Amino acid sequence: MSTKTNIKTEKSNELYKLLSIVYDDLLNIYTGYNIFREWMKTPFIIDDFAYATDAHMLMKVPKKLTNVTKEANKNTRESIKYLFDNIQLPLNIKINVAELEKQINTIPLVNEYSDIDIKGNCNECDGDSTVRWEYKDYREYFDCPKCNGQGRIEEKHRRKTGKKIKNKNHLFKIDGMLFLEKYINNLVKVAKKLDEKEIVIISKMQSSMMVKIKDAEILLISKIPTENDIVVFHYA
């Protein structure tokens, strides 16, 4: 093998190492965790691709571009396969990343609270107003002690974390679907990290959309419309 060939091979290997670091970092943006979904805590492999998901967003990358080694279990494989088997309505919508970032920066900051969800519902009872007590075969329901059985917590009684976050009522509307700022902000992060000027929407389903950024494909779940929605970006 010639010296030139050796140098070319070494450069190619070095490039893959750098790319794998980048894609590993990006996959970790899309991981999530709760006690019922521990498998979402880290990226995983299914056949020739690496995946990461938090149940609302999912990233798919060729595994050769990552350092991911954990194989998905049977249930995970079936769930992911179902998602991709049901992709329909091929699209080719290109959106400028700089424009998305500009609109993200217009969204006002609000206080973050630790005891409510995006809708203002109590985190302890999930807005149901009741909590369950169990002992052996006995089961009783009581008014939630945190929200006094209201299901919601008044603003003056909410527990602030001390942080400011983007107002979650400000949304992005793309081809008739609503998306949270967090989802769009993550797309911008990926595009900037991969030095891409545009994101490309490649397909659409009933309640989700698939975006392609270089070698990454990202699935986003849309938000159900409410009367409090404020659309800051509209791409028909």
- Give the integer Cα–Cα distance in Å for 141 and 185: 40
Q: What is the pLDDT of residues 56-69, one digit of tens each?
A: 899 999 999 999 99
| pLDDT on residue 236 | 67
Residue 51 class from Cβ within 10 Å (0-12 exposed, 13-18 middle, 19+ buried)? buried
Q: What is the DSSP letter of 108?
A: P
Alpha carbon dihedral 80, 84, 86, 91, in 10-degree steps, equals 150
Strand order in the sheet with 170-174: 177-180, 170-174, 230-235
Contacts for 178 with CB less than 8 Å, ≥ 6 apart: 171, 172, 222, 223, 224, 225, 229, 231
Stretch 74-89: mean pLDDT: 80
As given in the structure block, the two tokens for residue 116 are 């409510």
Percent pLDDT > 70 in the chain is 86
pTM of the model: 0.79
Q: Which residues contact 145 (CB under 8 A, 6 or more apart)?
A: 124, 131
Q: What does the radius of gyration of the chain's CA atoms come to, in whole angstroms?
A: 21
Mind listing the pLDDT tens digit for each residue in 166-178? 988 899 999 999 9
User: Residue 154: its pLDDT value, please?
Assistant: 74
Per-residue confidence (pLDDT) for residue 49, from 0 to 100: 97
Mean pLDDT, all residues of the chain:
86
